[in-house]
Amino acid sequence: MTYPKTVGVLALQGDSRNHLSLLADLGVTGVPVRTPEQLEAVDALVLPGGESTAISLLLETSGMLGPLRARLAEGMPALGTCAGMILLAREVTDGRPDQHHLDALDIVVRRNAFGRQVDSFEADLDVRGIDGPPLHAVFIRAPIVENAGDGVEVLASVARADGAERPVVCREGPVMVAAFHPELTGDPRLHQLFLERAGD
């Protein structure tokens, strides 16, 4: 199994540093991506958590929106976490009217939607494809997956305060998303799962 050679981390806004150090722990060259030229040079991309409306705007002003759409359409592997998951979705039900989404996997998401747990909560997740102890996940103003298409694999779910189970890790082809912040716990297993598929 080979990992992609160079993995970019979108560094326009939000938490790119911890993603870069997890990639380094896995022996992968991670590079911050802020320009179309830097995007062109990577084999895969991590879109971190932060604020999806701000990242959306910065994608536009940096000139990266078009090139990023094109790379995703060509099949570039991407991992989106929290705000990154919102950006990669097919539809955002309550995004700002001018908020861009990249339509890279067939999910519909709603921002800041974990009911009473809206601000933050933590959960231990069984993730399909990850062995060993459950993955500890930190959710911060997390999006909810309202609908996942037939082609989408749901790899982990969590019960909302009202008891409804919601997908929190999804994958479609080379694109994987998580509603939480996998970079905050120092556990590299979610990145590893992404890279295993991304390098195929």
Q: Is 183 a catalytic residue?
A: yes
Tokens representing residue 49 in the block: 């958590």
- Please pick, from the candidates 13, 16, 52, 62, the single residue that binds ligand GLN as defined by CB under 6 A: 52
Q: Which is nearer to ligand GLN, 82 or 130 (CB)?
A: 82
First to last CA, the chain: 7
Pairing relation of β-strands 78-81 and 44-47? parallel
- Please pick, from the candidates 4, 8, 30, 49, the single residue that binds ligand GLN as defined by CB under 6 A: 49
Q: Does 190 bind ligand GLN (CB under 6 A)?
A: no
Are residues 32 and 38 in contact, defined by beta-carbon separation less than 8 angstroms?
yes
Report the nearest approach of ligand GLN to the CB of residue 131 (Å).
27
Burial code of 119-140, b = ≥16 C-beta within 10 A, e = fewer?
Answer: eebebebebebbeeeebebbbb
Tokens representing residue 192 in the block: 């590893």
Q: Does 112 bind ligand GLN (CB under 6 A)?
A: yes
Q: Does 82 bind ligand GLN (CB under 6 A)?
A: yes
Annotated binding site for L-glutamine: 50-52, 111, 140-141
* Residues classed as catalytic: 82, 181, 183
